[in-house]
Amino acid sequence: MNRLLIYSLSVCLVGFVSCRKEGCTDELARNYSSEANYDNGSCNYIKGCIDSAAVNYDPEAALSDESCLSFENWRNWILVDIITGPDSLLGFAHLGNDSFSVRSVYANQELVLVNGQYEPGTMIVKHSAVQGSAVDDEYIGMLKLEKGEAPTSNDWEWFLLNRKGYILRDNSGVQQRGPELLNNYCTNCHSIAANDFVFTN
């Protein structure tokens, strides 16, 4: 009787061990194994910005690396400059052809050039408005990317924003952003600026 019991327990134990498949069982991990039924602690994850509202959101990231960037709080940034009146260099851009226009420039950090470049992560917003007019205000954002990400725009990306700092979308739902935004209009205009594509320093 005892031998039969011991034999039965041995069979069950061997069966359990042989059926156990070790691996990563977390579906968020990059090395997730659908065949694994026992997590062996081998899971590894892509880290990045996991906030879908951020401008650098990474849909493949599973864990936050606290790198998220957003224009949402631009009104609390550093007020770099206020320019009023027409500007022949701007033409119609940024409402620059209106005598009553006011253009306010904000930055998320001090604008300091290092070897002629602003550091990656530098963000700038220009809010253009016409006093006492029904003309819609304009909000344009700039983000300095990592070196080499967008050579044609000197690693700047441009954004059309609403007053809350959210990126506008076209009728197809596509976000209005990119180094080549508006058929390179922003890049071509800012390329003549003396300070790394930024007119205000």
Whether residues 83 and 114 fall in one domain? yes
84 by DSSP, 3-state: which? strand
Q: Which residue has the higher pLDDT, 100 or 77?
A: 77
Whether residues 119 and 152 fall in one domain? yes
- Which DSSP helix (H) or strand (E) runs through 157? strand 156-161
Amino acid identity of residue 59, one-letter, is P
The whole-model pTM stands at 0.79
Instruction: Tell me the average pLDDT across 123-132.
Output: 92
Whether residues 122 and 173 fall in one domain? yes
Q: What phi-psi label fits residue 85: left (phi over 0), alpha (psi between -120 and 50 degrees) or beta? A: left
Position 201 pLDDT exceeds 70: no
Q: List the alpha helices (DSSP H) in the chain.
A: 2-19, 181-190
Q: How far apart are CA 90 and CA 107, in angstroms?
A: 20
Q: What phi-psi label fits residue 16: left (phi over 0), alpha (psi between -120 and 50 degrees) or beta? A: alpha
Q: How far apart are CA 49 and CA 62, in angstroms?
A: 9
Please, are residues 44 and 31 in contact by the beta-carbon 8 Å criterion?
Answer: yes
Q: Which of 12, 31, 64 marks a domain boundary? A: 64
pLDDT at 13 (0 to 100):
46
Q: Classify residue 199: in a domain, yes or no.
A: no
Whether residues 113 and 173 fall in one domain? yes
Q: Classify residue 197: in a domain, yes or no.
A: no
Instruction: Tell me the average pLDDT across 2-30.
Output: 63
Q: How far apart are CA 42 and CA 24, in angstroms?
A: 6
Domain count, the chain: 2
Q: How many residues would you count in the chain?
A: 201
Whether residues 78 and 148 fall in one domain? yes
Instruction: Tell me the average pLDDT across 88-107.
Output: 82
Whether residues 174 and 143 fall in one domain? yes
- Residue range(s) defining the domain that contains residue 110: 74-190
Whether residues 103 and 143 fall in one domain? yes
pLDDT band of 16, cuts 50, 70, 90: very low
